[in-house]
Each structure stands twice: as C-alpha cells, then as structure tokens.
Amino acid sequence: MDPERVLAPSEAAMAMAGGPVVVGWTVQGSLDHELPGAAVRELSHRMPVFAARIVEGPDGLVLRRDRADAAVGLEPVPDTWAPQDAAFLRPGDQVLCVLLRREGPDRHRPGAACLARGQRRRLSDDAASAALGDLPGFGRGKGRYDSSLPLRGVAPAVEDRLRERYGASDVAACAADWSARLDAAQPAVLAACAAREGGPGPGHGAHRHRFTLSAEQTRSLVRHARRSGATVNSVVCALAMRAVRDLLPSEGGPVQLTCLIPVDVRPRLQPPLSADEFAFAASTTSATALVGPHTELGLVASEIDRQVHASLDAGHAELKYLAPSRMLTRLASAAITVAASNVSHHCTAPPLPEGLTAARLVHARTGGRAGRRVAARPHRFAVAVHATIRRNILCRRPAGPSR
C-alpha cells in the first residue's frame, strides 16, 4: 500500500458497497458536531447514500438503481445499525474495527502508517515517534502489539498539538480535500473501469448501495446462486455490474466492467468462525467481466466467484470488518491494525433493539504491521500511531461520508 494514499481500497469498497465506513474514521453512532461531523455533512452532498432494491423482473433478478424510478424507493439511508449487525451484538459489547492486510508473495511488502489528521501539516517524525512509545501495547523497540494491555488515552502533548491546529474554518477545506481524494482514488463499485469513458464513476454520481432484502428475495438469490455455482454475494455483484451496463449506451456490445467485492472472511480465520459470529468484511479483491445488454446473470456471477476465490487463495486481500472484542484472539496470524474507542457515554448511540448498548467506534485508516487501540474523548481526535517498515509516519485529518 502506498502510504501517501489516504483512501485505502478496502475503504473505497466498503463506502461504495454501503458498509459502515467513514473515510479516515469508522464510526458506529453519531459524529461530533465539530470538524469531522461538519465535513461529513459537506461530503454527503457529493457522495450520497441511496438504498437500492433487487427486484424480480420478467427475466429474473434485476438491481434497480435509477433515481428517477420512484417505484424502486431510492432514498437517503439513515445512519443506524443494520438489523443484521445488531443481531450479533450482546449487551455491553465493544465493537472494534479491524483492518487485516494479507498479501501474496508476488505483491509488494505491506507497510504504511498514519495518524488521524488533525492539522494541516504533518507532525515531525520525532514527535510521532515519541507518541509511539507512549501508546499502550507499543513501547519503544517492541515489534508487536500486546492485546492484554488496557485502553488508555493518547499522550496529551500529541492530542494538544492536534487540537491547536484545527478550527471550524477548516471544515470546507477538509471536505473539499477528501472529496478530491475520493475522486482520485476512484472508489466506484459500480463503475465502467476499462472499456469506455463516461461511465458512472465518482464524478458521475456513482453511489454506494445498501441492500434490504425480503425473505423471498433472499431465497430467490440463493436459488440463482446455486444454479450458477456462485455465492449470493457474487450474484449481487453481478446484478450491480449488469445494472451499470444498462446505464451505458446499448450499442457497442459487451463492456468490460470491474467491481470491488465484499468478502465474508469468517471461514478463513484460524480457527474458522461460524456464521453466527459477527464479522462484516470487505476486500480489495476485484473481478472484471465482459457484460453485455443481455449477458446471462449466472455467467457473470460464476466469473466473479472464480476470480475472487483465486485472488484470496493466492493470499491477495485487504480485508476490513467489524468484530466484537472477544473475537480478536481468534484472528489468523497476519498484520492487523486496530483503533477503537469506547466513549459511548459522550455521544448519542444509534437505535438498537431493547437491551443492547452501543459503543462508539473510531478507526484511523492504516496499513502496516501492528495496531493500537486508543481511547479518546469525542471532542478531541482519537489518534492511532502505527509502526511502519518504512520511515514514513503521516498525519491525516479525519473526515468523510457517513454510513
């Protein structure tokens, strides 16, 4: 991963697929009404979130995403816990965001580091290195994270530096900066990437989608997946790619489309996790297929499934998922980064079923060999400092589109 790149591919995948992502931070719950929250509101107009429906058409399943089609019910999605997410939570659970980076032997070595960006200029390497030694679980000279150590605050000196260098006047600049970075990273799940210009990319209103399926729709998806020998997720991705093709001119034959694929990694953990354990995953793994106006859905889904499995089997993946803290001890041995903050008493939690409580989650995007958990107050920035095999420690300002 290029440490200069703010938006990780997995973040792009999750943002565009409707996953619980805020660029720079991942937050379950309300955002502060300061810089991050204001920047998110600015960005929400540039990268809106819409609910898309999978409907049963005359020729089978169809993804409907045309904003002009009132029958589909495209409307902004509120920032709440999805029912399927809440089902895995227990009273008092602290939810962590984990970035699991794994690369095959023919990929470059992983290595990047960043802080939550709280000022316009970078902290010096000396200041960042000093902060590194003050964080729990990562004293100077240590090479791995000690998960047995408790959460505690960021070094005050670093926190103060962050607070000194931001203000309300930074909001518009922050939003514009992140919007430009989003465009530069091209985080489009539904984008015509390789064949023709003018496809629905970030600059053309590409939206992240959240799918709400009825029991009958779910059964229909399962049937289609079984017939095509693919996963349900691959069928959904195939529907998305076919919907994009329908938005392009019909003449010209098949168009090569690329889709970033969310992947369920529970079976790949060591030991494997059962389906009743919560682990929402997104992968940078992508699949490319030629999709024409009348391409059969099963063929596209099968090709997506084949490419995803081949990539994962080769070890190429960057996976991000939410997980209860009890799951951390069961992660496969691999580079992980974790940044979490249990400060729910400072913010309003999203709606949850009776008996459940929400812990606020804060995630600073990183790659690298080690992760830190950092407690922070909501009116300050949660800072996660990470080791890097490169001599480059960045400082980033958190902001981005809400879930």
255 backbone dihedrals φ, ψ, rounded to 5°: -120, 135
So what's the pLDDT on residue 364?
30
Q: What pLDDT score was predicted for residue 275?
A: 53
Please list the rounded mean pLDDT of every run of 10 residues in the chain (403 residues): 29 37 29 36 36 56 46 36 42 38 31 19 26 28 29 30 41 45 36 27 37 60 80 75 68 72 52 52 62 85 83 52 42 26 27 37 28 24 20 26 32
Q: Please provide residue 348's backbone torsions phi and psi, each rounded to the nearest 5 degrees.
A: -80, 125
Q: How many CA atoms lie within 13 A of 174 on its CB side?
A: 30
Q: What is the pLDDT of residue 217?
A: 63
Q: Give the Cα separation of 208 and 205 in Å (integer).
A: 10
Q: What is the 3-state secondary structure (H, E, C) of the chain?
A: CCCCCCCCHHHHHHHHHCCCCCCCCCCCCCCCCCHHHHHHHHHHCCCCEEEEEEEEECCEEEEECCCCCHHHCCCECCCCCCHHHHCCCCCCCCEEEEEEEECCCCCCCCCCCEECCCCCCCCCHHHHHHHHHHCCCCCCCCCCCCCCCCCCECCHHHHHHHHHCCCHHHHHHHHHHHHHHHHHHCCCCCECCCCCCCCCCHHHCCCEEEECCCHHHHHHHHHHHHHHCCCHHHHHHHHHHHHHHHHCCCCCCCEEEEEECCCCCHHHCCCCCCCCCCCEEEECCEEEEEECCCCCHHHHHHHHHHHHHHHHHCCCEEEEEEEEHHHHHHCCCCEEEECCCCCHHHCCCCCCCCCCCCCCCCCCCCCCCCCCCCECCCCCCCCCCCCCCCCCCEECCCCCCCC
Per-residue confidence (pLDDT) for residue 228, from 0 to 100 = 80
**Within a domain: residue 152?**
yes
Give the CA distances from residue 49 to residues 19, 86, 215, 271, 349, in Å, rounded to whole numbers and listed in that order.
Answer: 11, 20, 23, 36, 20
pLDDT of residue 268: 53
Domain annotation covers residue 355? yes
pLDDT (0 to 100) of residue 308: 75
Model-wide pTM > 0.85 = no
382 occurs within a structural domain = yes
pLDDT at 237: 74
Residue 57: partners with Cβ closer than 8 Å, 6 or more residues away: none
402 occurs within a structural domain: no
Residue 209 lies in a domain: yes
Q: What is the distance between the alpha carbons of residues 215 and 300, in angstroms, rounded to a whole number?
A: 24
What pLDDT is attached to residue 168?
38
Contact 118, 385 (CB under 8 A): no
Distances (CA, A) of 84 to 80, 81, 236, 352: 11, 8, 17, 11
Contacts of 190 (CB under 8 A, 6+ apart): 16, 65, 200, 206, 207, 209, 240, 241, 243, 244, 259
Q: Domain tally for the chain? A: 1
Which pairing describes strands 317-324 and 95-102: parallel, antiparallel, or unpaired? antiparallel
Q: What are phi and psi of 281, to 5 degrees?
A: -125, 150
263 found inside a domain: yes
CB within 8 Å of 51: residues ≥ 6 apart = 73, 74, 75, 77, 209, 210, 211, 212
Sign of the dihedral defined by the CA atoms of residues 112, 118, 122, 126, in that order = negative
Please state, as a whole number, how many other Cβ atoms lie within 10 Å of the Cβ of residue 19: 22
323, part of any domain: yes
Domain span holding position 381:
9-395
In a domain, 305, yes or no: yes
Neighbours of 90 (CB within 10 A): 11
